[in-house]
Amino acid sequence: MKFAAPLVEGRLVKRYKRFLADVELEGGGAITAACPNTGSMMGCCEPGSRVWLSESDSPTRKYRHTWEIVESARELVGINTGLPNRLVREAIETGVIAGLSGYGSIRPEVAFGEERSRIDLLLEDAARPACYVEVKNVTAAVTGRVALFPDAVSERGAKHLRELMRLKGQGLRAVLVFCVQRGDVDEVRPADAIDPVYGRTLREAIAAGVEVMAWRAKVSTRDIAIDTSLAVRCP
């Protein structure tokens, strides 16, 4: 996925109200940008961090700029949770995620399930059962090249896992993909200290046959693309 126009560089002043960030621009001046990430952004929202923003010319936008990337521990990290579905779909269509390739169609945001959920990607083909793919954005990391999910309590995430288990029980293919938008990690683990319920539910889902995979994206200020499979460990 290539950014439509060059990103604007700045320094983060503060992130607040979850959806807003004040930024001092590299060329001078200060703006308020939209922050497309509802998590805690653990390790990714330190004041003074270098950040990169996309800019929209839409007259209906309240905030012209959207925060896309932050430099954390000298690593570029993609923080926009609106991108992983697009990144995973692109990786499926180009054959990078070979385990999910070969379906005749891909449909986004399809309603399903008992808890009024929407699956991120529905893969369908006349020759085999439908494949339901839930995508989660991962930005948090700790020493030892380990990424963690979630970075805040995620009742919604646990709900999605329960729905995937029900789909698997109906004979359908159920897949969870962790999309890791940073290059300095080699594995993903559940953040049990942050959300033990999610960690427990993830382990139940794996035991029930839900496929769980992680893919790392290479992040630059020009483009972001999935390129490397990572291990998922639940010690």
Within a 10 A sphere around the Cβ of 60, how many other Cβ atoms? 5
Whole-model pTM: value is 0.95
Residue 119 confidence (pLDDT) above 90 = yes
Q: Give the pLDDT confidence of 183-222 residue by residue, as tens digits.
A: 999 999 999 999 999 999 999 999 999 999 999 999 999 9
End-to-end CA distance of the chain: 33
Span 91-100, average pLDDT: 97
Which H, E and C letters describe 88-105, residue by residue? HHHHHHCCCCHHHCCCCE
The phi-psi region of residue 41 (left if phi > 0; otherwise alpha if psi is between -120 and 50; otherwise beta) is left
Task: Express each pLDDT in 4-42 by its tens digit.
Answer: 999 999 999 999 999 999 999 998 999 999 999 999 999
pLDDT in tens, 160-179: 999 999 999 999 999 999 99
Span 78-92, pLDDT tens digits: 999 999 999 999 999
211-219 and 173-180 beta bridge pairing:
parallel
Architecture per CATH, domain 84-232, reads as 3-Layer(aba) Sandwich (3.40)
Q: Are 13 and 23 in contact (CB under 8 A)?
A: yes
| Average pLDDT of the chain, as a whole number | 96
Query: At the top level of CATH, which class does the domain 8-78 belong to?
Result: mainly beta
Closest by CA position to 205, among listed 136, 125, 152, 145: 136
Which helix or strand (DSSP H or E) is residue 21 part of?
Answer: strand 20-25
pLDDT digits 0-9 by tens, 39-88: 999 999 999 999 999 999 888 889 999 999 999 989 999 999 999 999 99
What's the rounded Cα separation, in Å, for the pair 148 and 188? Answer: 6
CA distance linking residue 26 with residue 167, whole number of Å: 49
Rounded distance between C-alpha atoms, residue 47 and residue 76, angstroms? 16
Residue 168 region by backbone torsions, left for phi larger than 0, else alpha for psi between -120 and 50, else beta? alpha
- What are the residue ranges spanned by the domains of the chain? 8-78, 84-232
The pLDDT value given to residue 84: 98
